[in-house]
């Protein structure tokens, strides 16, 4: 590939599966595979992925001109010249590149070297822990990427460790067990079986483990602090870097699998001490506990993909992150990663790095953003009502994006059942969906069977799918007027966002 062509593709490498597919096709590879990949062109749809609303605003509220590169490594103002780094490979890595371990691995290595050099990396590092993949949608546009994975699996390649994968995009057992949704699934995800199968061949465990919250106790993908990994899934990257202290950049779907099969990643951005410095001090001065999703949205819009250092919220965590309070970080962080492209945040007195290094984590030229009651209200005021029938009543409640852990799922079931009992009501007025991995659902059924049974008969479904995939289905916004506690889900769909207590009221009354 000519250098110029690659530089043009570089931002896509970080973002879109199409880019990995395109590179796989473009890197010289003599063997004919007979699959559909290898056109060498970025599909038309991918062009639009370069256009994003992830543009920064400065302290004065005016645009800064910064746009996200989607790696989590801020490259504001990056030019083609910034892709001029030259990777120094070890003898073993060079041997792989030279084809000593087969043509497939050589091709993966070439992709990884090109990707790293585009972001200024000069070396690869060995990965530890376990990978996490967000390649979870068996949509037609991923066919050539699935071809690539199949070719690797057929050549005997595997992830260096068993890895976790995002939730599947539908749940035909608990939610979409109706002909309309079945038809849409059949049309929308014709590659799902092939994708699930290749994940299985490359080292992913069974479908009961599928979740975006791969780090919760029931799944256990929690690498030690400081471990280099290659994770893909904005909310998992964001939580892992921040709350677990692991070191990963934000990868576009597919690139994490390239890293997983080589057991290596280029060292740059959020994997370095320098890249983990905070360019923003977020000074939270709300008179009560902030709304975590709104705070995260505000931070994402402000910082785009710079690292924020959040101060003023330590008292809401009682000194440590636990299974009972982690969801605050989850909802804040995932919103920073959805409204912006934040791959790492520090929370003073709460997350591991500021606990150790304090405000030394602030970059020299950091800016300050004050988030007070007035600012919170201003941000809430920007949350539009996108329902086609704006005055209609809500028709479904969505809890948990990212997925809930055991404690959060039980807490919601209790809150709902208690509210129903207090109101003397048997059932919720509209269906409620709580999103969690199947293993967590099973655990609740076993350990809290009475509560789970009562909640289920009242109208609550425990579902293992991706909330946003469900709410992004064709025609969904015309069929469903959803409400949610997830600012991430709100960011990507027509679903409206409300605080927890308000959601309970809505569940019981069916009214806003
Ligand atoms: Fe998880 Fe899907 Fe939300 S993968 S974070 S439930 S968008």
309 lines ligand 1 (CB under 6 A): no
Q: Pick from 132, 136, 212, 409 the residue to mutate for probing ligand 1's pocket: most ligand atoms within 8 Å of its CB.
A: 212
Query: Which ligand 1 atom lies nearest to the CA of residue 488?
Result: 3
Residue corresponding to tokens 């709902």: 416
Q: Give the residue-averaged pLDDT of 61-67.
A: 57
CATH number for the domain running over 396-509 = 3.30.499.10
Six token digits for residue 421: 């009992």
Nearest to 345 by CA among 432, 245, 259, 438: 245
* Fold classified for 82-263: Aconitase; domain 3 (3.30.499)
Largest CA distance in the chain: 72
Query: Which ligand 1 atom lies nearest to the CA of residue 236?
Result: 5
Residues 402 and 213: beta-carbon distance below 8 Å: yes
Confidence of residue 489 (pLDDT cuts 50, 70, 90): very high
Helix pair 103-118, 255-262: axis angle to 10 deg:
120
CA angle 82, 84, 86 (to 5 degrees): 130
Q: Looking at the chain, how many residues does it have?
A: 512
User: CATH 3.30.499.10 occupies which residues in the chain?
Assistant: 396-509
Confidence of residue 344 (pLDDT cuts 50, 70, 90): very high
pLDDT tens per residue across span 7-24:
333 344 444 566 787 777
Instruction: Quickly count helices (H) and strands (E) in the chain.
Output: 21, 15
Distance CA 291, CA 331 (A): 9
Distance CA 42, CA 63 (A): 30
Q: Atom 1 (ligand 1): residue with closest C-alpha?
A: 402
Whether a cis peptide bond, with omega within 30° of 0, leads into 486 is no
Whether residue 438 is predicted with pLDDT greater than 60 in this model: the reply is: yes
485 lines ligand 1 (CB under 6 A): no
Confidence of residue 65 (pLDDT cuts 50, 70, 90): low
132 lines ligand 1 (CB under 6 A): no
Question: Which string of DSSP letters, residue by residue, matches 244-312?
Answer: I--B-PPPPTTHHHHHHHHTEEE--GGGSTGGGSEEEEEEE--SS---HHHHHHHHHHHHTTSPEEEES
Whether residue 80 is predicted with pLDDT greater than 60 in this model: the reply is: no
235 lines ligand 1 (CB under 6 A): yes
Q: Give the residue-averaged pLDDT of 112-132.
A: 94
CA angle 285, 246, 359 (to 5 degrees): 35
Q: What is the pTM of this model?
A: 0.89
């Amino acid at each position: 590939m000519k250098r110029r062509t690659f530089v043009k593709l570089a931002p896509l490498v970080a973002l879109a599966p199409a880019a990995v597919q395109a590179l796989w096709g473009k890197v010289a590879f003599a063997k004919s595979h007979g699959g559909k990949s290898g056109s060498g062109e970025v599909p038309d749809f991918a062009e639009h992925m370069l256009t994003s609303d992830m543009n920064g605003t400065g302290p004065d509220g005016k645009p800064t001109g910064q746009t996200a590169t989607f790696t989590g490594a801020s490259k504001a103002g990056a030019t083609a010249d910034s892709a001029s780094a030259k990777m120094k490979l070890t003898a073993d890595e060079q041997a792989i590149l030279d084809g000593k371990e087969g043509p497939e691995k050589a091709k993966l290595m070439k992709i990884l070297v090109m990707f790293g050099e585009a972001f200024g990396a000069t070396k690869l590092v060995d990965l530890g822990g376990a990978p996490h993949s967000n390649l979870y949608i068996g949509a037609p546009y991923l066919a050539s990427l699935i071809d690539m994975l199949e070719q690797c699996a057929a050549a005997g390649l595997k992830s260096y460790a068993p890895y976790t994968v995002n939730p599947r995009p539908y749940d035909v057992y608990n939610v979409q067990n109706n002909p309309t949704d079945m038809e849409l699934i059949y049309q929308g995800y014709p590659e799902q079986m092939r994708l699930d199968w290749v994940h299985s061949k490359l080292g992913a465990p069974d479908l009961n483990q599928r979740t975006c919250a791969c780090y919760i106790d029931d799944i256990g993908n929690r690498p030690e602090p400081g471990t280099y990994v290659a994770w893909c899934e904005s909310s998992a990257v964001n939580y892992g870097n921040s709350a677990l202290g692991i070191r990963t950049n934000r990868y576009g779907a597919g690139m994490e699998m390239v890293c997983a099969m080589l057991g290596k990643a280029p060292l740059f951005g959020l994997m370095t001490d320098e890249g983990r410095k905070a360019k923003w001090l977020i000074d939270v001065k709300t008179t009560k506990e902030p709304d975590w999703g709104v705070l995260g949205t505000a931070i994402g819009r402000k910082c785009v993909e710079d690292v924020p250092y959040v101060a003023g919220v330590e008292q809401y965590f009682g000194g440590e992150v636990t299974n009972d309070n982690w969801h605050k970080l989850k909802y804040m962080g995932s919103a920073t990663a959805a409204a912006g492209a934040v791959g790492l945040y520090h929370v003073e007195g709460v997350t591991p790095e500021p606990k150790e290094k304090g405000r030394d984590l602030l970059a020299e030229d950091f800016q300050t953003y004050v988030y007070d009651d007035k600012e919170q209200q201003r941000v809430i005021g920007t949350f539009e009502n996108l329902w086609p029938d704006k005055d209609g009543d809500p028709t479904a409640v969505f809890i948990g994006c990212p997925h809930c852990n055991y404690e959060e799922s039980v807490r919601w079931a209790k809150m709902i059942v208690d509210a129903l009992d207090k109101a003397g009501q048997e059932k919720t007025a509209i269906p409620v969906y709580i999103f969690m991995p199947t293993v967590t659902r099973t655990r609740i059924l076993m350990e809290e069977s009475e509560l789970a049974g009562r909640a289920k008969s009242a109208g609550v479904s425990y579902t293992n799918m991706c909330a946003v995939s469900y709410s992004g289905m064709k025609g969904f916004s015309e069929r469903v007027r959803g409400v949610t506690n997830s600012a991430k889900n709100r960011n990507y769909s027509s679903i409206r966002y409300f605080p927890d207590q308000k959601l309970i009221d809505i569940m019981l009354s069916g009214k806003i």
